[in-house]
Each structure stands twice: as structure tokens, then as C-alpha cells.
Amino acid sequence: MDVIEVSSQRRRQLVDVTTYVQEAVAASAVTAGVAHVAVPHTTAAVLLNENADPAVGDDILRALEAMLPAIAWRHAEGNSDAHLLSTLVGHSVTVPIAEGELALGRWQAVYLLELDGPRKREIWITCLGA
């Protein structure tokens, strides 16, 4: 397993980590299989989405914000919304590996979804051969 560290700059942010994941795949020498990408955090998530138009990422962040009604959260840290959103999006993705490369769609990228930043986050990458 490779561990990479990524820093976010805002409370909510999409950080493209595709290059880091691809470097871990290359270092693993797995030519066919899967890369499992996960975060060990309860206020962050990992997702796949478009990398061609930054407006898509902005729309994702705005939509997540709109999903949360104004309720009285019980969690004392003030970041219950981040916990809820990380649960909905998920802490991991699995990406196929073909010929030693991430097998992503033309417009896809791997993103860390920061929900309670700015922070330093770990991303765990496990490459498994077929």
C-alpha cells in the first residue's frame, strides 16, 4: 500500500489526485488488476468525475451544499455536515488497471473530496494484480 499526503486549501474542495494514483500504480508494477483508492478520514471522500471542465467540480460542491437542510446538529465539533457528506459520497473508489495504467474514461479523474478543510489528508492506494 502506498500512502500519499494531500493538502487542501478550503473547507470544501475537490483535489485532483489522479497523477499521484498513477504514480503509485507505476511503482507497484501491477500491469492488470485494480487500484483501490481510499481515505482514512471521516470528513473526506474519494470520487471519480470529470476533469475537463472545472465547472463540473464547482457544481458538485454546490449540489452537496444544497443537499443539507438547516438542522440543529448534535455533534459538538461543528462539522456534522462533513461527516454526513463523506458517508454519502464514500471513502473509496476502485479503478481498473490495464497495461500498467489507470483505466479511466476519457474525461475521468480521481478526486479527494475535502469536506472539512483546510487540512492535510492521507490517501491510501492499494494495487492488486489480476
C-alpha span between 17 and 110 (Å, rounded): 6
pLDDT of 7 > 80? The answer is yes
pLDDT average, residue stretch 12-28: 97
Q: What is the pLDDT of residue 62?
A: 94
pLDDT average, residue stretch 63-89: 85
How many distinct structural domains can be found in the chain? 1
Higher pLDDT residue, 73 or 91?
A: 91
- Whole domain around residue 90: which residue ranges? 2-129
CA distances, 113 to each of 25, 40, 94, 130 (Å): 21, 12, 15, 28
C-alpha span between 117 and 44 (Å, rounded): 9
pLDDT average, residue stretch 54-81: 86
pLDDT of 50 > 80? The answer is yes
Q: What is the pLDDT of residues 89-129, one digit of tens each?
A: 999 999 999 999 999 999 999 999 999 999 999 999 999 99
C-alpha span between 32 and 110 (Å, rounded): 18
In whole numbers, what is the pLDDT of the chain averaged over residues?
A: 94
CATH of the domain at 119: 2.60.120.460
